[in-house]
């Protein structure tokens, strides 16, 4: 038994000690959560704006596969195979998922998507999509090396986040032209999509998958983004 009854200051010291201990343990827990599983490398978030506005130049989304989970593509005939699916989710500003799709990216491969043509031209509803959030979750391909399962994208299935991609997208904005001039002035910036924490089997990944499934089930072809052509 520890005799604290007559200790005077010890209770305060114990409180201080417990506080310090809890802070330390919290930092450990945070450290573990922030990088505890492969999902920490698989989830990227960004945003877009000024899509589908007449006269505005188009934006671009570029995605590359770093080869971090395997340097070879299935067609190389060697292992480990590092082919990945970029599962893309497009949202409007009011958090509604309007499009989703899965795009194949081989190690060292590069795909480029048009904001207006590939990501926002085929929304679930007819409302024009101008701005919102972009999310990409990387995953393995199917056993056949594809990013579609029948009529559904892998993005709409119960896949496990896996692998590592890197992505950047451009943002086109209009600047105020000098008084008396008519041509609009545009500026372009480019940002990387940022890594974020995605809890394995958590609510966010489950929601993304189930909403994408609903979009692709109910959309009658609407709500599916496309994977673009040859990068320019």
Partner 1 sequence: MLTTTTLNSFNFRKLFGLLAVICLVSSVAFAQQVGGAFRNDAQHSYIVGFYTGAGQGLPSDGIMHAVNPGSTGGFGNSDESPNAIPQGGDLCANVYVFLPDEQLTACCSCKISPNGMQGWRLSVDLIGNPLTGPPYVGFPTIRAGALKIISSRGGGPAGRLPSPPIGPGISSAGTSGLRCDAGSEYHPGGELHAWITHVRPLLGETSVGVTEIHFEPAHLSHSELEKLQQQCFAINAAAGHGGVGSGRGQCRCDGLFAN
Question: Residues in the site for partner 1, rule: CB under 8 A?
Answer: 1-4, 6-8, 10, 13, 17, 20-21, 24-25, 27-28, 30-32, 34-36, 40-41, 57, 60, 62, 64-73, 78-80, 82, 106-112, 164, 166, 168, 170, 172, 186-190, 192, 195, 230-232
| Closer Cβ to partner 1, 95 or 175, answer by number | 175
Range 198-212 burial, b when 16+ CB lie within 10 A, else e: bbeeeeebeebbebb
| Closer Cβ to partner 1, 93 or 186, answer by number | 186
To partner 1, the closest distance from the beta carbon of 36 in angstroms equals: 7
CA–CA gap between residue 75 and residue 15 (Å, rounded): 62
Count of beta carbons in the 10 Å neighbourhood of residue 227? 18
To partner 1, the closest distance from the beta carbon of 2 in angstroms equals: 5
Task: Give the pair of three-digit tokens for residue 137.
Answer: 């979750």
Read out DSSP for 198-216?
--TT-HHHHHHHHHHHHHH
| Closer Cβ to partner 1, 85 or 172, answer by number | 172
| Closer Cβ to partner 1, 57 or 219, answer by number | 57
- H or E segment at 221? none
To partner 1, the closest distance from the beta carbon of 61 in angstroms equals: 11
| Closer Cβ to partner 1, 72 or 152, answer by number | 72
Give 222: exposed, middle or buried? Use CB within 10 Å, 0-12, 13-18, 19+: middle
């Amino acid at each position: 038994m520890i005799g604290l009854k007559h200790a005077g200051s010890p209770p305060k010291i114990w409180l201080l000690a417990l506080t310090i201990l809890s802070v330390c343990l919290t930092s450990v827990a945070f450290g573990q959560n922030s990088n505890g599983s492969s999902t920490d490398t698989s989830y990227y978030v960004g945003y877009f704006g000024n899509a589908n506005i007449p006269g505005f130049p188009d934006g671009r989304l570029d995605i590359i596969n770093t080869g971090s989970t395997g340097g070879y593509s299935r067609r190389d005939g060697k292992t480990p195979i590092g082919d990945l699916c970029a599962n893309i989710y497009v949202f409007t500003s009011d958090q509604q998922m309007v499009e989703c799709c899965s795009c194949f990216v081989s190690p060292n491969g590069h795909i480029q998507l048009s904001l207006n043509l590939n990501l926002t031209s085929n929304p679930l509803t007819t409302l024009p999509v101008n701005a919102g959030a972009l999310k990409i979750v990387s995953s393995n391909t199917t056993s056949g090396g594809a990013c579609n399962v029948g009529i559904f994208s892998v993005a709409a299935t119960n896949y496990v986040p896996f692998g590592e991609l890197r992505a950047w997208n451009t943002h086109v904005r209009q600047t105020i032209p000098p008084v008396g001039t008519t041509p609009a002035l545009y500026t372009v910036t480019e940002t990387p999509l940022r890594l974020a924490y995605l809890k394995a089997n958590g609510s966010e990944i489950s929601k993304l998958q189930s909403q994408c499934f609903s979009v692709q089930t109910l959309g009658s072809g609407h709500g599916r983004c496309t994977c673009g052509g040859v990068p320019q």
